[in-house]
Structure 1
Amino acid sequence: MNTQKLLYKNVEFNIDTYWLDPISDFTSEVKHPLVIIFPGGGFTFHSDREAQPIALKFAAEGIHAIVLHYKLINDGKPVYPLSLQETAVTLNWIKSQAGRHQIDLNKVFLIGFSAGGHIVANYNSLMTDPETRQEVFDEPIEVEPCATILSYSVIDLTMGYPDDIDESRKISPNMLYWQTQEHLNKYSKPTFIWQTVSDETVPVMNSIIYAQKMDLLNLPYELHLFATGRHGLSLATHITEDPGEGSYVNYSDAKWWSMCLNWLKLQRVLPV
């Protein structure tokens, strides 16, 4: 893993890169897909449980991975629009690395967990629409994500998380960024969604309303709701278990990973 500093209009942010090295035995170049990971953390920190462990799982499947340390509210400034601008800058930077690291630019996708999922969902709505994109980022974006993955994601800031309207205003005083489902459009990308019905932090209706809106727009999606399991499961195995907190292990919910890989095959991101 290497940390790379990027800039958006003199605002610095970090990404962690997990590059796959070329296999010297191969007689021809192999280009790999790439995933950008947005960890959760309630917009106040980036959860390590949803960063490196996820990156390494994708790497084991032949996918380059980047963990994006997006804008938080710790300095008293809102998350939006800077987090979306940081995402756009990261996508443009990826193009500059495509030759060096053998990246398949047609197979770049985003995955978000909890609060990080809100940023991914907003990107899939506001940043796929040419008109609203111009309001957020006034430069060309060189790489278009082909798909998104939402893991127990915050979708609508008025639907249970945060539970205080003032906290929603800290995330963004502009309500344009609150309800990600409302800005889905014909250009939005196929999405894999999973959550547990018993999620005690982000109500499961967040995932349901997003899938419902995609369905109304005839956008491709796959939705999996597991009966039980706490918020923040990550891989839901011992790999991401907080020591002494067995509630982070749920091998039924852990099936989301194999389901997600199968879906990536359906999207032609991974070979069938």
Structure 2
Amino acid sequence: MTIDFRARALRVAVPVFAASMLAFGGGGASAQEPLVNEQVISLWNGRPAGTPDTLEPYIVERSKDLFRADRALMGIADPSLTVILPEHPNGTSLIVAPGGSYRRVVLDKEGIEIGKVLANEGVTTFLLAYRLPGEGHEAGPDVTLADGQRAVRLVRAHAEEWGLEPDRIGILGFSAAGHLAASVATAYDREAYAPVDAADSLSARPDFTVLVYPVVTMEDPYAHAGSREALLGKEPTAEDEALYSPERHVTAQTPQTFMVLADNDPSVPSQNAIDFYLALHQAGVPAELHVFSDGRHGFGIRKAADQGMPVAGWPALLGDWMRYNHFIVEDTE
């Protein structure tokens, strides 16, 4: 499969939310609103096998503010990557999976916002529209893992032609998609689908993982009930709960991880991220965990900044972490 970013590229302005939001670790954002390219790439070149023929995509606008979108995508029959390509790509890429309780994919506050912030640092973002397990797919709960694995492999397969480094590919998951990202990080070698092309011969292991107010466990007492039901059904077995709980499957080969959340999250218990951190620590995997006292759930970027929350600084912390670990490499020329 040959994919050319330039073939269907669109020019869009990046809104400047606040200098502190767009500046990673003091790197600074341009006073001018930068331009990025956007393009949509099908993960499977169309509707994957096992996807209901009647399933069609639709978007629900949930915002009460005429000037701020809050769209949710459902009916995902053709999973895709929407590429946000910076003016000056630095070779690092991040696959971003927005949350939505595994019942929807939140497009704006957990997708486009972070993609445009990352563009200021030269990071190429791939926004992942993944299949929702409760929409009748034959593969059931494995559709999310399959789409995550396929996304990593597809980016790695085309890294050279896209000007990306195959060993600087990360995955970021918000909320329920934190479970997706943690699953890819810990089950990258689990056979979640039958290979479809040469890209599937490559490793699906991300080089780093970012989890933002993540769902992780499927086991009581800390499971997020809505995400678990959407993924595993109303009466999952103990064996399935354990199989789909990423904190149980951390090894020394799990990618290093950055996590951020609020201690007063009323939706997803903070123990989800804490237990994943403890599993990483026990396995000797470098990990960084930031727990803010206030922020609740779904703070995103712009919402946290508008409300003046300390958690609004999390993109800068992520940038510092990526620099320190050489996932963002400064241009010394």
The 3-state SS of whatever aligns with 1:195 is strand
1:185 aligns with 2:251: yes
Name the residue aligned to 2:213. 152
SS in 1 for 2:294: coil
Specify which of 85, 93, 112 is matched with residue 34 of structure 1.
93
1:255 Cα deviation after fit: 1.4
Compute the displacement of 1:89 (Å).
1.8
| Corresponding position: 1:235 with 2:301 | yes
Does the C-alpha gap of structure 1 residues 189 and 166 become closer, same or farther in structure 2, counting only changes over 3 Å? closer
In the TM superposition, residue 224 of structure 1 has moved relative to its aligned partner by 0.6
Structure 2: which 5+ runs fail to align? 1-37, 52-77
User: What residue in structure 2 maps to residue 169 of structure 1?
Assistant: 232
CA 1:219/1:193 → structure 2, altered by over 3 Å: closer, same or farther?
Answer: same
User: Which of the residues 252, 255, 262 maps onto 1:196?
Assistant: 262
Distance 1:185 1:88 in 2: 18
In the alignment, the residues of structure 2 paired with residue 88 and residue 148 of structure 1 have an alpha-carbon distance, to the nearest angstrom, of 13
Q: Classify 1:116/1:135 alpha carbon distance in 2 versus 1 (closer, same or farther; 3 Å).
A: closer
Residue of 252, 255, 274 corresponding to 1:208: 274
| Alignment match, 1:91 | 152
Please, which of 74, 79, 93 is the counterpart of residue 13 of structure 1? 79
CA shift in 2, pair 1:41/1:97, >3 Å: same
Change (3 A) 1:43 1:156: same
Please name the residue that 2:40 is paired with. Answer: 3
- Structure 1 residues 196 and 18: CA distance shift in structure 2, 3 A: same
Residues 123-177 of structure 1 show CA distances to partners (whole Å, capped at 9, x for unaligned) of 11111xx4xx246666423464210000000011221411697555239953354
Cα shift at 1:6: 2.2
> Aligned equivalents of 1:165 and 1:57: distance in 2?
30
**C-alpha contact (below 8 Å) 2:266/2:297 kept by paired residues:** yes
Tell me how far apart the structure 1 counterparts of residues 132 and 249 of structure 2 sit (CA, whole Å).
22
Gaps of 5+ in 1: 23-29, 242-248
Provide the rounded CA distance (Å) in 1 between the counterparts of 2:127 and 2:229.
29
Work out whether residues 19 and 101 of structure 1, in 8 Å CA contact, stay in contact via their aligned partners in 2.
Answer: no
Residue 265 of structure 1: aligned partner: 323
> The residue matched to 1:104 in structure 2 has which SS?
coil
- TM-score by length of structure 1 reads 0.83
Quote the Cα distance in structure 1 between the aligned partners of 2:209 and 2:235. Answer: 22
Provide the C-alpha distance between the structure 2 equivalents of 1:267 and 1:161, rounded to a whole number of angstroms.
31
Q: How many residues align?
A: 253
Extract structure 1 runs of 4+ deviating beyond 6 A.
none
Tell me if the contact between 2:43 and 2:151 (Cα under 8 Å) persists in the aligned partners: yes
CA distance in 2, matches of 1:119, 1:172: 20
Among all aligned residue pairs of Structure 1 and Structure 2, give the percentage whose two residues are the same amino acid. Answer: 20
* CA distance in structure 1 between the partners assigned to 2:204 and 2:269 by the alignment: 32
CA contact (8 A) 1:34 1:103 kept: yes
Say whether the 8 Å CA contact 2:140–2:231 is kept in structure 1: no
Q: Is the CA contact (8 Å cut-off) linking 2:133 and 2:230 kept in structure 1?
A: no
Q: Which amino acid aligns with 1:95?
A: R
After TM superposition, give the deviation of residue 96 of structure 1 in Å: 4.0
Aligned counterparts of 2:311 and 2:150: Cα–Cα separation in 1 = 34
Do 2:263 and 2:294's aligned partners in 1 also have CA atoms closer than 8 Å? yes
Task: Give 1:56's aligned amino acid.
Answer: K
Q: TM-score, normalised by structure 2?
A: 0.69
Q: Which amino acid aligns with 1:4?
A: I
How far 1:84 sits from its partner (Å)? 1.5
The separation in 2 between residues aligned to 1:151 and 1:164, in whole angstroms, is: 15
Q: What whole-Å deviation, never above 9, does each CA across 1:196-226 have from its counterpart, x for those lacking one? A: 1100000111111111111111110001100
Larger radius of gyration: 2
Q: Which residue is 1:25 aligned to?
A: none
Secondary structure of the residue aligned to 1:83 is helix
Q: CA deviation at 1:73?
A: 3.5
